[in-house]
Structure 1
């Protein structure tokens, strides 16, 4: 666990839910774009729950969610984890963050997929801390 998480854990209302991508993501994306565009967004991330790993938090009190998942097409030479936020009520946005990338053709060259994923999860957890300050 990163040192900052030892002193600032993820806020209590947020529950980690990594078993499958929540239907909320599809609903939110379709509310801001067409179903056809939504199906293509982030290389089909929200229509096909096929790519792993993901990290996901859900706040049942507010209906908000946060997702860390691959956002690039599998055939791209550089892969990247994106952080996506569904705020309370409605809407959908990509959280602008540091690039959490890895090169699948060079699996042992840092950053590896695991290192990029851990960095994205850490940044997402920090985002939840800041988000709670505004709720």
Structure 2
């Protein structure tokens, strides 16, 4: 693997917290789109904390967060992990990235859900490294 692909340690200000989706996501999304639109966003991800796995980082000093979570409806034939960013202070955005997809009807075929999740986490951590250069 080329040296540029090795990830460096995350900046100390970012804390990993995967226990439950932070209320910050709901508040930011409602402020940006309104409560009704927020409830439908990403197949209800922010209204129903039911879908796993998730990976989440929080920066309390900047009031910023990053989330990796399933963004497609459970009934879709192709599932995808999205990367969501709440920048310092206010706002909400989906990070445009490579598709981190898997086919639930073919659970053993690569990429599996686990492989797609790990790839999304690696991309999210690279995003945090770059983002810290700008804050």
TM range, normalised to the smaller chain?
over 0.9
Tell me the residue number matched to 2:6. Answer: 4
Q: How many residues align?
A: 131
Matches of 1:73 and 1:115 in 2, distance apart?
19
Once the two structures are TM-superposed, the CA of residue 34 in structure 1 deviates from its matched residue by: 1.2
Consecutive unaligned residues of structure 2, counting only runs of 5 or more, are none
Tell me the residue number matched to 1:65. Answer: 65
Aligned-pair RMSD on alpha carbons? 0.7
Q: Which runs of 4+ in 1 moved over 4 A?
A: none
* 1:56-135 equivalent positions in 2, closer than 5 A: 56-135=56-135
Matches of 2:62 and 2:89 in 1, distance apart?
7
Consecutive unaligned residues of structure 1, counting only runs of 5 or more, are none
Once the two structures are TM-superposed, the CA of residue 120 in structure 1 deviates from its matched residue by: 0.0
1:36 aligns with 2:14: no
